[in-house]
């Protein structure tokens, strides 16, 4: 069977956990099919990640030489060009804003089926991809009889593979062509933060319209700091300008799947639930006992967040 490819995020930063998760999934597929796992990574510092990628299961690391992170269109063009030479069986990308642009373009270029927001991959005579559409009200398990399949994988959906430091990988350079260079992003602006990345956080404390303003998110951040958690937000809070869009969770924001999600002052719209519905445990804090968020919560606290959240933070700090 043809090789399994993984497009690696964050070449010029610390590698994200989702890269390990995708490589573990690709490794399981490759072992079943007696194939190889190929990791494709961009950026000036990409070569420094080869050892880590090999330890997670990569047999070959293809380094696309570029001075900066490429635009999603450039990622799609590069992968399509490389795939035309090697015809991989599966191409995995981490689900997110960039891959939602790159993956459809790649699938179109390869005339390949696309499975988005995959939460499980099963190896066998056929490769099955599991999705949870309609805010997880439906479980979809699908396959496709095609030479190449493109899929985006939800962060924290697949297990992290065990690290095998003895593994090595062949490292190959693949220069970016002129078309790619024309679309490369020169810089990416991010708000500085010492907190864990929202998409990969094990605990998320999120605020919504009930925060009433930017000052309300100081309460959210205080609890997040006590728990070592990431901060999230609903779309109304972002639209009001109370917090940056990078913290938005939901259908038009980031998809998260933490062990614990604490929703503070969030009504629980279907759009927000689409982004955090895979959380293992949901605690909702809302002063409206009829708020929709309680229907999807494991634990509910009917209270004003400005009273309840500081009490939770104090209790956490006392236990620590």
- Binding site, by residue number, is 209, 234-235, 248-252, 265-272, 286
Instruction: Report the alpha-carbon distance of residue 26 to residue 32 in Å, rounded.
Output: 10
Element (H, E) at 271: helix 270-276
Q: At what angle do helices 99-110 and 72-86 cross, to 10 degrees?
A: 30
Q: Give the CA distances from residue 292 to residues 18, 107, 190, 211, 284, in Å, rounded to whole numbers and listed in that order.
A: 31, 37, 32, 17, 10
The residues, any chain, with a CB within 8 Å of residue 125's CB and separated by 6 or more, are: none
> In the structure encoding, which two tokens stand for residue 275, read together?
């982004």
What the block records as the tokens of 83 is 């795939």
Instruction: Give the neighbor-by-neighbor strand order of the sheet with 299-302.
Output: 230-233, 203-207, 260-264, 282-286, 299-302
Residue 225 token pair: 């700091």
Q: How far is CA 318 from CA 46, 135, 284, 309, in A?
A: 43, 37, 22, 14
**Phi, psi values for residue 247, rounded to 5°:** -95, 0
Specify binding-site residues for FAD: 209, 234-235, 248-252, 265-272, 286
Cα–Cα nearest to 310, from 216, 194, 210: 216
| DSSP label at residue 157 | S
What distance in Å separates the CA atoms of residue 172 and residue 118, rounded to the nearest whole number?
28
């Amino acid at each position: 069977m043809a090789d399994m490819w993984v497009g690696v995020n964050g070449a010029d930063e610390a590698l994200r956990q989702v890269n390990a998760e995708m490589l573990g999934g690709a490794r399981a597929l490759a072992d079943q099919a007696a194939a190889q796992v190929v990791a494709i990574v961009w950026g000036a510092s990409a070569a420094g990640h080869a050892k880590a990628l090999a330890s997670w299961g990569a047999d070959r690391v293809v380094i696309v030489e570029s001075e900066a992170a490429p635009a999603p269109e450039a990622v799609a063009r590069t992968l399509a060009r490389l795939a035309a030479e090697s015809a991989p069986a599966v191409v995995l990308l981490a689900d997110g804003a960039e891959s939602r642009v790159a993956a459809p373009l790649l699938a179109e270029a390869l005339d390949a089926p696309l499975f988005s927001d995959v939460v499980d991959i099963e190896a066998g005579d056929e490769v099955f991809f599991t999705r949870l559409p309609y805010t997880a009200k439906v479980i979809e398990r699908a396959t496709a009889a095609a030479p190449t399949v493109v899929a985006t994988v939800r962060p924290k959906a697949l297990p992290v593979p065990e690290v095998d430091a003895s593994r090595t990988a062949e490292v190959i350079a693949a220069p970016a062509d002129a078309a790619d260079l024309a679309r490369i992003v020169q810089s990416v602006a991010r708000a500085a933060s010492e907190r864990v990345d929202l998409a990969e956080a094990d605990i998320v404390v999120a605020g919504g319209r009930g925060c009433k303003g930017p000052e309300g998110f100081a309460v959210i951040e205080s609890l997040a700091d006590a728990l070592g958690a990431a901060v999230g937000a609903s779309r109304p809070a972002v639209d009001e300008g109370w917090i940056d869009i990078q913290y938005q969770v939901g259908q038009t924001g980031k998809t998260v799947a933490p062990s614990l999600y604490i929703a503070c002052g969030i009504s629980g719209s279907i759009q927000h639930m689409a982004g955090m519905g895979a959380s293992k445990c949901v605690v909702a804090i809302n002063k409206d006992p009829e708020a929709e968020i309680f229907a999807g919560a494991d634990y509910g606290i009917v209270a004003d967040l400005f009273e309840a959240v500081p009490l939770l933070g104090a209790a956490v700090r006392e236990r620590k």
